[in-house]
């Protein structure tokens, strides 16, 4: 008794070719998605670099302003101390 063939060789080859085509399609989609994500990542890196530059500029500006403020306050303090030293200790402060 001979067994009945469930699948012919041509049917198996066609199914394998179909599966191979599906794998090629999936691979192409994966590559396209990978490239899109790479472009997005590069854009994000550029944006982060731009934000870092802005933060450095802001920090530098605020630091310069703070140094200027400290210099002004020191000058005002020295002026006040000089005025206090010149006053007659016998006179009241008010």
According to the model, what pLDDT value does residue 94 have? 66
Distance CA 57, CA 49 (A): 12
84-88: Cβ within 8 A, 24+ apart? none
Residue 79 structure tokens: 């002026």
Spell out the per-residue pLDDT of the chain, length 94, in tens.
677 777 888 999 999 999 999 999 999 999 999 999 999 999 999 999 999 999 999 999 999 999 999 999 999 999 998 887 777 777 777 6
According to the model, what pLDDT value does residue 83 have? 84
Q: Is the alpha carbon torsion for 14, 19, 20, 24 positive or negative?
A: positive
Q: What is the pTM of this model?
A: 0.58
């Amino acid at each position: 008794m001979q067994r009945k063939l469930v699948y012919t060789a041509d049917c198996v080859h066609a199914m394998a070719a179909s599966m191979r085509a599906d794998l090629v399609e999936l691979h192409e989609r994966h590559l396209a998605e990978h490239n899109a994500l790479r472009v997005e990542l590069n854009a994000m890196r550029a944006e982060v670099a731009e934000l870092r530059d802005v933060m450095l500029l802001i920090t530098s500006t605020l630091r310069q302003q703070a140094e200027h403020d400290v210099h002004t306050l020191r000058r005002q303090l020295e002026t006040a101390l000089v005025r206090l030293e010149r006053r007659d200790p016998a006179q009241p402060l008010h």
